[in-house]
Amino acid sequence: MNIPGARPPTPQELVRVAERITFLYVEHALVSRKDSAITLTSDHGVVHVPAAQLTCLLIGPGCRVTHHAVMLIADSGTSAVWVGERGVRFYAAGRGLTRSSRMVEAQARLVTNTRRRLAVARRMYEMRFPDEDVSQLTMQQLRGREGARVRRIYRQESVRTGVPWNRRDYRPDDFDASDDVNKALSAANSALYGVVHAVLVALGCAPGLGFVHTGGDLALVHDVADLYKAETSIPVAFDVVAAQPSDVAAHARRSMRDAMVEAKVLERCVADVRRLILSDAEAAIDDEWRNVVALWDGGSGTVSGGTNYGQGIEDELVDW
């Protein structure tokens, strides 16, 4: 059958998410397509972006996006995230790379079992603060430890850079109401959230099923992003303010992009999420590119799809 339109690439033809560029933020531009590249056209000229090598495109205010651009973004497995001014609001996102439901099924089993969910929360804390033994701590104790450690990190960064710090204070409805360091933190965290969201979607996880955070549609995004804030967004924000740039948010995004590349956040995020959600044996199986649809067998297993299971019982059916 001749289907009109360009043939979308197979997952095997695409760059893996761990090997991609982290993110690109664009505002006040026309987002279009030429061949296999996204084109960004503004008063400054035209920029070509290789879509298949990009993890996350943050589309800000003042953008127009063509139909062909969205086709290429979707076919490339790039997450298109529509964000607000300065990139600090999250509105919508597109489809990722995976064609398998294995990760989201394993995630759902963990989230819906209290004992297993607490075990994942403890592993997350151990990944952030490996010098502490939390094997016997309750969720309430974990929250207390986490709060104390994060406050200490803010104070240390303030002393290191000389930037005054009082507390985390920001208003989602008024970005300019915050002081510079809180503005920088919001912008840097927003970029981190976009990249983590893209990785989760690419792996096939449900962003709303969190282990520590809960109730929001990005709960798991906040869980996983917290693993990297102490070495990326927090020091970046203080360094940006210490440099006294004219545009704090833009400088924070550019610095955050460099920090994530240096810290290998993409590669680590893929490995960390798989390690948190899958068993060691399951994590060893790489099915990022698989497109296998099976049928539920009614119990705990599956049977092959694409098979006619009605053969041999036609005579038993009532002729309606």
pLDDT value, residue 289: 44
Residue pLDDT, tens place only, 169-223: 887 777 788 899 999 999 999 999 989 988 898 888 999 999 999 998 889 999 9
pLDDT value, residue 12: 54
The domain limits of the chain are 11-93, 102-282
- Does domain 102-282 bear CATH number 1.20.120.920? yes
Fold held by 11-93 = Ribosomal Protein L15; Chain: K; domain 2 (3.100.10)
Q: Is 267 within any annotated ligand binding site?
A: no
Q: Is 272 within any annotated ligand binding site?
A: no
CA–CA dist 270, 203 (Å, integer)? 8
The pTM (predicted TM-score) of the whole model is: 0.69
Give the model's confidence band at 51: pLDDT under 50 very low, under 70 low, under 90 confident, else very high: confident
Please check whether residue 122 is in contact with residue 135, taking contact to mean a CB–CB distance below 8 angstroms.
Answer: yes
DSSP 288: T
pLDDT over 90, % of the chain: 53
pLDDT over 70, % of the chain: 78
Please check whether residue 273 is in contact with residue 199, taking contact to mean a CB–CB distance below 8 angstroms.
Answer: yes
Q: What is the mean pLDDT of the chain?
A: 84
Q: Is 226 within any annotated ligand binding site?
A: yes
Give the model's confidence band at 291: pLDDT under 50 very low, under 70 low, under 90 confident, else very high: very low
CA–CA dist 96, 99 (Å, integer)? 9
β-strand partners of 295: 303
